[in-house]
Structure 1
């Protein structure tokens, strides 16, 4: 995960703003239990004479080093437009007190409410607050909004979700998202154990660090104890009761992001004043994101803040409910510097311009007519899925899916006739089918691809379903061998052009490693064609008056803080196939580089290696391992963490091992291993 600001010839760096600002470092916000949270604040210099609304970003990623560069581009920008912009490290992260025991705990929300109280009491505050955040910060904004603090008037949530079970990095379609479950847990395992800064907290840093090392839990253990949608996942999932959010929400994502789906649900369920924006981007802010086009997103934020925090009529409420980028068709590539296309506008969501259009399955084909019933057998090919790309791209080289012809021989594929006219898709494809299984536990993975006339196959959407969760993620039921079931698989939302002459492919399989942890036994599924087995496409009719939307300014940021590059970034993704032993292994290496900040002398870096392996015909051979090396320090104070997380399974249990080793000035000062086994629960 790289938190950086990419240089761009198209980005304007602003150095003059309507209000002159100052940065206030190392502000302590007291909590009622005696703990203190660490904050940095950017303020208009005259804010105490002329109070301003506040913008809060509340995340666990260390404001003094790890996000300092990105913070410098945005918070001074907001401050310069007349806001107090406040960046707070949540409890247990950065210089804040405590230990971070899990994601999105009630304690985290309670602390946020106290932060809001504190803001309203400051002499520079008008008492009106907005929250902004990407990923964890986007989740946090939604969750705090649902707590209805009177000072919180609006939020901007980017790359986030309203559903912690069904649409996050842990489980997808009732399957363990094995590409990310362990990886994200290992990430936070390492991140959370980093020390406070001695220059800020004083001599207590060492005692506090040892406490963090000893008591920072591997989150994966708790996540794996909740393999179905229970109260653990309902907490923090604002989809449980959308009516709890009564303020306007600006929801933002990109087609390469792992969290695009939430934008559509939020627009459908939140207050009418809420808006949505979906571009071509990966998991990043739209003013710096790739693929291009990036947009003047900070200007859009200021318009939103001015509307809801200053009471100005910025015209934003007369604009469309959803603005999205319909991508032109492209041949497959593992990264794109840009995605040509067009901005389109929909004034409602669901949109009256989108019609669900079916294509039925027949022998090897997708057709617009219901065909007689046929049977299609889907065998388990355990190595199916290695060319899927990563679940949530951050814009790094190699993130995206390869040519799906590399996968199609491991699945059963149905192909449409060439499209007779160019067609636009916007929303969720759905796959409906009548299926049976030869095992009590099985999954179905569905890939949707754009097939060019020259044969290349580009993955444009996908989805999967644990068939024991066919009726409920909370109350799974075993399959009866050979019994037919009608099931539906929602695929990820897309905004995609299918040109005249191109075809669509639907690929079906009971395996999708490493996205889905394999079923405990090899599975053979049977799909029955007929009226109940079809692909449903969200076909959008172009609207001439709304499909020339492009009123975005050139991207702007504040001046990014100075940095020294000590070690440059490097990324590789290697897939190896041992043909003698039938073992496939993917190694994803990401050296995120090392940087030094002249402003405070801090130097930090990270290296991550993720390995996924499986043996042909053996689902119980699946293995995932994630390694991290994190460094943070100064010339006279150096710390390093090495962490290794591993996951495997047999028919009845999952096995988890997490080891953490800590070094101070190259001397090992701590080592601990956590080991546990957890029963399988319908996964």
Structure 2
């Protein structure tokens, strides 16, 4: 693992422009923070964009400093832009990944490419929201966008996000939805937007903000609402190189495999981490992710020969089996590289449900019933662990008590080690004895 760089390593090499206003065609202005190499006037550089709704001046400030100073010190201009209706930007947050958000991104990219300090080449990076919209904006094909690094994202907003999964409404719809409302209702900074405007801007947000969980629950099927922003609807829309990254205890691992399979030229990394940047990934081991990013940017934004094309399409952390515990500082295992996905070295095995068993041989199906306590399942851990460590343990623990209150299906003891890579699928036929 490469040493984690400190912001103080690079402050003397980087100019911090705390507020830059990016004009939109309709008269709105979006607020940006720019970190630029001090010699950019003599040597124009490519631009890197992170575009999210979490207030750049405080919401993601520490995280931004950890990554953006590094990029700026290594020859890139970095723009951290507040989405319309967040931070100090004009407008209103209308929903996740709204078409207006994408339209604004096209204007932002064109603005960055036209700056005198920019070579005209732009990349997008982000984790979670910023990983989502990096793929979505790439599908819109802005001419100046040359590459994307997408961390902890999805290609399928309906079936692989916090709202519905496996046909079931997730608790995260309410959890995340309420937090998202708070993001859209936070005030701008009077010192930035002006003491004469900030209250008016804040009141406009509060008065007009939608109740997002209700909006999402109105769409319980895969309709046009969810197809918008789901790049799996047409992978071919994306024509730029994508580095897709996630962790095994993150909720968004599937996109790594789907992008490698469906987007030519994509490289994927799946590590042991939760919902964090891999250079600070928990559980560890973390990796020198900023160095990996630089190889990607140098190749696709500067045209340097860094060898990224020769990297295995998929690099993943193959975890060893360990007794469950609520937190791991690091997982045991090893890195492997796969020359393609799906891999020729992987065999799909189907197990059939029996009376408490999982068997390769199909038996005669019999109806089974279960009546569990509402608390059943609490030991299974968080759907998306954030790598909070010992502060808030998130991982699955011993689940035998839950097993006893459930229909549980086990294989016979394994005769030899079995490595599981990729996604598992289960097909169930379920009926309830009470109406919804």
TM-score under structure 2 normalisation? 0.95
Counterpart in the other structure of 1:423: 418
Change (3 A) 1:17 1:66: closer
Q: Residue 38 of structure 1 contacts residue 94 of structure 1 at CA under 8 Å; is this kept in 2?
A: yes
| Offset of residue 135 of structure 1 | 0.4
Report how many residues are paired: 431
Given candidates 397, 422, 431, the residue that maps to 1:437 is 431
Q: Distance in 2 between matches of 1:293 and 1:402?
A: 21
Gaps of 5+ in 2: none
Q: Which residue matches 1:129?
A: 122
Counterpart for residue 572 of structure 1: none
Matched with 2:155 is 162
Aligned to 1:152: 145
Residues 364 and 311 of structure 1, relative CA distance in 2, 3 Å threshold: same
Of 318, 323, 329, the residue aligned with 2:321 is 329
Question: 1:99: how far off?
Answer: 1.4
Match of 1:77 in 2: 70
In the alignment, is residue 175 of structure 1 matched against residue 168 of structure 2?
yes
Aligned match of 1:385: 377
SS in 2 for 1:128: strand
Question: 2:382 aligned with 1:405, yes or no?
Answer: no
Per the alignment, residue 266 of structure 2 pairs with: 274
- Offset at 1:359? 3.0
In the alignment, structure 1 residue 120 sits paired with structure 2 residue 113: yes
Determine if contact 1:19/1:44 at 8 Å carries over to the other structure: no
Give 1:266 shift. Answer: 1.1
Distance in 2 between residues matched to 1:266 and 1:353, nearest whole Å = 19
1:92 counterpart = 2:85: yes
Q: How does 1:584-595 map to 2 (within 5 A)?
A: none
Task: Kindly state the Cα deviation for residue 10 of structure 1 after the two structures are TM-superposed.
Answer: 5.9
1:305 lines up with 2:297 in the alignment: yes
- Select the structure of larger CA radius of gyration: 1
8 Å Cα contact 2:46/2:77 also seen in 1: yes
In the aligned structure 1, how far is the partner of 2:242 from the partner of 2:212? 29
Q: CA deviation at 1:114?
A: 0.3
Q: Give 5+ residue unaligned stretches, structure 1.
A: 1-7, 440-519, 522-650, 652-683
Bigger proportion of residues as helix: 2
Aligned equivalent of 2:50 = 57
- Alpha-carbon deviations, 1:312-344, whole Å to 9, x = none? 110111110000001111111122111111101
Partner residue, 1:291: 283
Whether the 8 Å CA contact 2:3–2:288 is kept in 1: the answer is no
Q: Which residue is 1:375 aligned to?
A: 366
Which residues of 2 match residues 442-521 of structure 1 at below 5 A? 521=435
Per the alignment, residue 583 of structure 1 pairs with none
Deviation at 1:265, TM superposition (A): 1.0
1:100-147 deviation line (CA, Å, top 9, x unaligned) = 121111100000000011011100111001000000000110110000
1:202 CA drift (Å): 0.8
Measured against aligned partners, the alpha-carbon deviations of 1:599-642 in whole angstroms (never above 9, x if no partner) come to xxxxxxxxxxxxxxxxxxxxxxxxxxxxxxxxxxxxxxxxxxxx
Native 8 Å contact 1:19 1:80 kept in 2:
no
Aligned-partner Cα distance in 2 for 1:374–1:236: 40
- 2:21 corresponding residue in structure 1: 28
Cα gap change, 1:100 to 1:432, in 2 (>3 Å): closer
CA distance in 1, matches of 2:250, 2:424: 17
Change in CA separation of 1:367 and 1:320 when aligned onto 2, cut-off 3 Å: same
Tell me the equivalent position of 1:491: none
Q: Which shows bigger deviation, 255-264 or 380-389?
A: 380-389
* Structure 2 contact 2–287 (Cα < 8 Å) conserved: no
Query: 1:228, 1:116 → 2: CA distance?
Result: 33
Shift of 1:256: 0.5
Q: Distance in 2 between matches of 1:39 and 1:246?
A: 27
- What are the Cα deviations for residues 489-525 of structure 1, in whole angstroms up to 9, with x where unaligned? xxxxxxxxxxxxxxxxxxxxxxxxxxxxxxx64xxxx
* Per-residue deviation, 1:52: 0.5
Distance 2:137 2:12 in 1: 29
**C-alpha distance in 1 between matches for 2:432 and 2:166:** 20
Residue 211 of structure 1 pairs with residue 204 of structure 2? yes
Q: Is the 8 A contact 1:159 1:253 kept in 2?
A: yes
Q: 1:20 to 1:236 in 2, by over 3 A?
A: same
> For residues 11 and 91 of structure 2, what CA distance do their matches in structure 1 show?
39
**Alpha-carbon distance in 2 for matches of 1:398, 1:18:** 35
Cα deviation, residue 409, structure 1: 1.3
Deviation string for 1:149-180 (max 9, x for gaps)?
A: 11001100000101111111111112111x20
